[in-house]
Chain A
Amino acid sequence: MDLKDAVKKFVHNSDMLALSNFLHCNPYATIHEIIRQKKKDLTVAVCSAIEEIDLLLSGDCVSKIITSYYHRAGGRRYKRELDRALFEERIEYEDYSNFTMCSMFMAGALGYDFLPVMKSVKESDIYNKRTFCDTNKMKTIKSPFTGKETVVVPALNPDVAIVHVQRADKYGNAQLWGTEGTVKWTALSAKKIIITCEEIVDHEKIKHSPFLTVIPSFRTSAVCEVPWGAHPSPVAGYYNTDIIFRSMFFGKAISSLGNQEFMEEWVYNRKDRQDYIDHYRKRFGDEPLEYLKVHEYMSDCINMGYKKTYWQDDFIMNLALTKEEYNKKTEEEGQLEI
């Protein structure tokens, strides 16, 4: 499916949007497309964010954010769109920890109402100070078995999750490796899942390594092949973090004007990810992208194996009968006749 169509069909105004990737394989191509389609009033739920939140805020797509980490580069001097949005009170923001966020996604994915979490959060302002999640941020209950005080978090079931992976088949079996982060639980908690991947591969190839599949086809709403779809974040086995690009963004994002220039150049004026990469090559040459490509370090091939059948030549292994003996038996035991 074309990514434009997938976003048009599955992302709606006022949705809760989950960003599944955890600092690795970030779904930037999809984020750019959401911005170009001017989606509004989204609640964004993400465990750890770098540029994702800033981009979506710059596109005026967001009204609420639930997160546990927002990467800061360079300290106080390097303000970005989130600082401006918080200062101007354009958005509401709720702080969790990575573990409590992941537990909310996991509860949603498992089909439970809530999950217990580690108790240290109770001793912090993450528990004590609350914004829009208010009393539903976290609660404390007594364990019904031991009576121990237990902090619990509610299930999150976002309307749509976007996720970038290394490869998938045309049915939407999505395979990821390198760093798993929160990808599986965040994606599976959502009602719809949009997958972008570096490569669409044959179904047969997926079946050779099913342990790499993090999202199965029956949960996938759309799967789109988007090479370089996670740039400037790293994708294990494909490319590394692009420091040039990321630094350029941090430099531009300090002022509203610079931020707007960045958005025009890299998001609004780009048709799609191919156009973005073409533009990158035009501006910076081929060298930086070539440098990002990783050295090969191949996974060892294991034997998944499949067994021999019961019928070996004219002998049936699980009954210890020859073909003739078996035919004789079926004649004796048969109940109806043709």
Chain B
Amino acid sequence: MKYRRVELMVLETSKEIKDGEVCVIGQGIPMTSGAVAKRSHAPNAIILTEAGMVDIEPFQNLEDIADPGCTKGFSYSIDLFDVFTTVVNRGYCDLCILGAAQIDKYGNINTTVVGDYEINNRSDMKLPGSGGANEFAGHSNRTIFTVVGGKFVEKLDYLTTPGWLDGGDARRKAGLPGGPSAVFSQYGVFRFLEDSKEMYLTGLFPDTTIDDVRDMIPWDLKTAEDIGKSLKKIENPSPAELKFIRSFEPFLGISGHEGRLLQVKALPNYYEKKAHGDL
């Protein structure tokens, strides 16, 4: 049985959510992890989205963070301002999970632009922007980033969301609580060194070498072995886990590009032909 790296990544990320925690989760891959956790090992986790749905129980992955049909009701309906102030700013958010387009060695994130921001944001590639990321990662007790299409870079093109800033005690000096605790890619898992706050490799995906990971990292990457710990070998998912995750989000079982092509090209054609009796 074959599976895609991103499916394992979603499963591994979901394991970071402990039962009973209050979790803010971002759009896309992170939301899949959150929803999987809620339906498996963390049924009492409080999953909330920026749009104000608190304590959702998604039976299917969300289309976006404001998808009201993903759950049969929820416990607490608030607005976006309440989420940021009464939950996150007051320190009640245990964990947030967000996607990253560019990430540096201290877990700072760019989701605004690839290329030069100057000249009126005339850019090679416009990315979504902050959305809720800046304040979520800036003020949650723990933050986890997922990197799928994104890149590890020496220097960000734009700092959208603060991680450990310049490392060491820079984040505390700036008066920000919490901080990034882990980064999940499709090849390895990273955490941050106690003192310097530099990212280091703690886990390796199946059929992946340290050099495979190093090829993607522009700085001299440390691993768990460098600080006297052992590097975790991440196990293959079980068929049952894959079955569950695919029932929840079938898109994950095929490549993002293939899935997008199916949606953009095949889906409208299918319904158009069916409507006109051409199938």
- Please give the residue numbers on chain A whose beta carbons come within 8 Å of chain B beta carbons, in ascending order: 22-24, 47-48, 50, 67-78, 82-83, 86-87, 89, 92-93, 95-99, 102-103, 106, 118-126, 128-129, 131, 149, 177-185, 234, 236, 240-241, 243-245, 247-248, 250-251, 283-285, 287-288, 294, 297
Contacts and interface: CB of A to CB of B under 8 A. Distances in A.
B51 A69 contact: no
B275 A118 contact: no
Nearest to A50: B64
B267 interface: yes
A125 B51 CA distance: 24
A98 B132 contact: yes
B125 A234 contact: no
Most buried by A among B88, B134, B274: B134
A95 B113 CA distance: 11
B84 interface: yes
Given A123-B162, A125-B160, A248-B264, A285 B275 contact: yes
B125 A182 contact: no
A213 B198 CA distance: 49
Contacts, number: 218
A138 to B, nearest CB: 12
Contact of A179 (B68, B158, B257): B68
Interface of B: 49-53, 63-69, 72-73, 77-81, 84-85, 88-89, 112, 117-123, 125-135, 137-139, 149, 158-162, 165, 174-176, 256-257, 260, 263-265, 267-268, 271-272, 274-276
B120 A247 contact: no
A69 B134 contact: no
Contacts of A77: 257
Contacts of B77: 177, 180
A97 to B, nearest CB: 4
Contact of A48 (B69, B131, B135, B162): B131
Nearest to A177: B77
B80 A131 contact: no
B162 A243 contact: no
Nearest to B118: A129
B128 A72 contact: yes
Given A125-B158, A185-B81, A98 B175 contact: no
14 contacts: A48-B131, A68-B129, A73-B260, A86-B122, A96-B130, A123-B159, A180-B80, A236-B68, A240-B69, A241-B67, A247-B263, A248-B267, A250-B260, A288-B271
B133 to A, nearest CB: 7
4 closest residue pairs by CB, A with B? A120-B138, A285-B275, A178-B68, A251-B264
A124 B159 contact: yes
A273 to B, nearest CB: 20
A264 B175 CA distance: 52
Given A78-B260, A99-B81, 4 more contacts: A98-B84, A123-B165, A179-B68, A297-B72
A76 B65 CA distance: 22
Contacts of A93: 120-121
B247 to A, nearest CB: 17
Contacts of A120: 134-135, 137-139, 161-162, 176
B79 A283 contact: no
A59 B226 CA distance: 57
